[in-house]
């Protein structure tokens, strides 16, 4: 449903940029889109009405991955088991495809089926989550950490990941409440815990996973001597912390009863996934 929004928006547009945009979203787990749809379902919102917002967050996430993979950033050759966009085409195409996906993200979110005031809240929230105080700011801190004279502390990494990974996940989790005009606080607590658990498990997979299963290069953090949740907590400690966070996420949904069971299952999935 969410990826269909992106395919529909680029259908019939000639050229490699549109092709690269579609390529960039193929093969993704769709977790963020799922969180948008299921957070909306908690409040009785039709999934079709939430679909544009779900497509928007996947477009924004895809843009971030395309740009993160570039040689000037993480310099990765593999993403989701396929060549990264700049390897499949070239760096210019990757930059433009990422730019177009970012613009499309806000277009789709602005087309969400709710009141104009609530659409504005969704757009403003996404701008905050994606920008300097969210994903981009977290990525900048992550890059700076690679050449810092002192390794990051656990508190540093937690704050960094709250922006780099957690901000978009938290936005996805609260989208349904914003669409419904309800308090987002329980879902924000859920999203904050889920986002951190997700990143901790990524660090676990970087140690335990293999490139074929994970779909991207593994072991790079250790090779760079980069501080991670695993390097600071140990592998078992990182797994325990992730499990604690999933419990916190699930408990925060108690106010919604059985309506939020799919979101609880999503939280449990985060620390059982192999990619």
DSSP element (H, E) containing 82: strand 82-83
Please check whether residue 193 is in contact with residue 242, taking contact to mean a CB–CB distance below 8 angstroms: no
Please provide the CATH number assigned to the domain covering 2-270: 1.10.600.10
The percent of the chain in helix, strand and coil, each rounded to the nearest 5, is: 75, 0, 25
The pLDDT tens digits for 153-175 are: 999 999 999 999 999 999 999 99
Question: What pLDDT digit, counting tens, does each position of 202-257 carry?
Answer: 999 999 877 666 666 666 666 566 789 999 999 999 999 999 999 999 999 999 99
Low-confidence stretches of the chain (pLDDT beneath 70) = 211-225
- Decide: 263 and 39 in contact? Cβ < 8 Å: yes
Kindly state the percentage of the chain with pLDDT values over 90: 83
pLDDT for the residue numbered 134: 97
Percent of the chain with pLDDT over 70: 95
- The reported pLDDT for the residue numbered 216 is 61
Domain locations in the chain as residue ranges: 2-270
Element (H, E) at 17: helix 16-25
Name the 3-class secondary structure at 152. Answer: coil
| Three-class secondary structure of residue 79 per DSSP | strand
Give one word for 27, left, alpha or beta, with left for phi > 0 and alpha for psi -120 to 50: left
Question: What's the residue count for the chain?
Answer: 275
Q: What integer pLDDT is reported at residue 56 of this predicted model?
A: 98
- Closest C-alpha among 230, 233, 218, 229 to residue 275: 218
Beta pairing partners, 79? 82
């Amino acid at each position: 449903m969410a990826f269909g929004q992106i395919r529909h928006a680029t259908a019939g547009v000639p050229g490699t940029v549109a092709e690269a945009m579609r390529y960039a979203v193929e093969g993704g787990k769709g977790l963020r889109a799922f969180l948008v749809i299921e957070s909306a379902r908690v409040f009785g919102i039709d999934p079709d009405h939430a679909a544009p917002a779900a497509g928007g967050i996947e477009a924004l996430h895809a843009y971030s991955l395309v740009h993160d993979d570039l040689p000037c950033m993480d310099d990765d050759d593999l993403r989701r088991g396929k060549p990264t966009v700049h390897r499949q085409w070239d760096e210019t195409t990757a930059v433009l495809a990422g730019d177009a996906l970012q613009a499309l993200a806000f277009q789709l979110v602005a087309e969400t089926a709710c009141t104009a005031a609530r659409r504005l809240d969704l757009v403003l929230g996404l701008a905050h989550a994606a920008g300097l105080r969210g994903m981009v700011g977290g990525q900048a801190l992550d890059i700076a950490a690679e050449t810092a004279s002192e390794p990051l502390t656990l508190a540093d990494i937690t704050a960094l990941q709250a922006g780099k990974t957690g901000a978009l996940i938290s936005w996805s989790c609260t989208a349904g409440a914003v669409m419904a005009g309800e308090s987002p606080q329980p879902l924000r607590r859920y999203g904050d815990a889920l986002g951190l658990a997700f990143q901790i498990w990524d660090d676990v997979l970087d140690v335990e996973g293999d490139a074929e299963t994970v779909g991207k290069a593994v072991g790079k953090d250790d090779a760079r001597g980069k501080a991670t949740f695993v390097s600071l907590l140990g592998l078992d400690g990182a797994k325990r912390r992730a499990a604690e966070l999933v419990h916190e996420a699930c408990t925060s949904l108690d106010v919604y009863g059985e309506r939020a069971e799919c979101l609880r299952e999503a939280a449990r999935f985060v620390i059982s996934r192999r990619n």
